[in-house]
Amino acid sequence: MAWKIGDTVRVKDGFIDKETDHDMSGWQGRIKEFYTDVGTALIEFDSLTIKGIPSTYIRRCEEEGYSWSEYGFELEWLEIAVSRDTQHDVAAMINDRSGEFPYAHLGEDGRAMDEILGGVDPDDELEAFQVWEGHLSKHLTFPFEATVSEFQERGPLRVGDHVKVHRIKRVDDFYGVIVQVQRSRHIYYFPLCDLKVLEPSSPNHDLVQLYAVWFANR
């Protein structure tokens, strides 16, 4: 075999990825590296292949921590092919598809976040906050009891304080969703991300926790 790094190859018909059960027949790309001791080669897929990769495969790879833009194949499953694009095309297509499941690495929580925030640019935090505000307003039941779960550098509330949450007040471009809370006879406006619902069996519990996990990983 006289193949070299940079050569374009095609995956022969019949190849099934054992980890995800996806058929990779006809997927095409460039040889990125050889592993001669085990008879395999790392292939970086070309832009046409990346464009056609099923979303289910990308999500699975994101969740498992695998790369979906390259793959290690045994040499017997590869055959020489004609290049169809440039490295610039590959980089652009990877960038286009990288935002499809920005939270998939968070497992089941990530799936829920992707459903709530589908179509929102991960870099547009204000829009994401606004989408969360709408979703939380629709699904949370007020009032509910909560506790302050995060350290507070300033302000009257401290970790462990119990409060009653009455309603969503507004969205802040730094602190996110702000809620109105009551402690004793005092009313405060406080970031929802720093609260934990007291009653574990309440439907509010998991939703507020999901939002807090998203806020910490945004």
DSSP string covering 83-145? --S-HHHHHHHHHHHHTSSTTGGGHHHHHHHHHHTTT--TT-HHHHHHHHHHHHHHH--SSEE
CATH of domain 120-217: 2.30.30.530
Q: What is the pLDDT of residues 7-18, one digit of tens each?
A: 999 999 999 999
At residue 35, the 3 state secondary structure works out as strand
CA atoms within 13 A on the CB side of 20: 22
Looking at every residue in the chain, the average pLDDT score rounds to: 95
* Domains of the chain by residue range: 8-101, 120-217
Going by pLDDT thresholds of 50, 70 and 90, the confidence category of residue 31 is: very high
Alpha carbon distance 144, 135 (integer Å): 17
Residue 42 has pLDDT above 70, yes or no: yes
Peptide bond into 143 cis (omega under 30): yes
pLDDT number for residue 1: 61
Helix (H) or strand (E) holding 207: helix 203-217
Going by pLDDT thresholds of 50, 70 and 90, the confidence category of residue 119 is: confident
For the record, the structure tokens of 107 come out as 């497992």
Alpha carbon distance 127, 131 (integer Å): 6
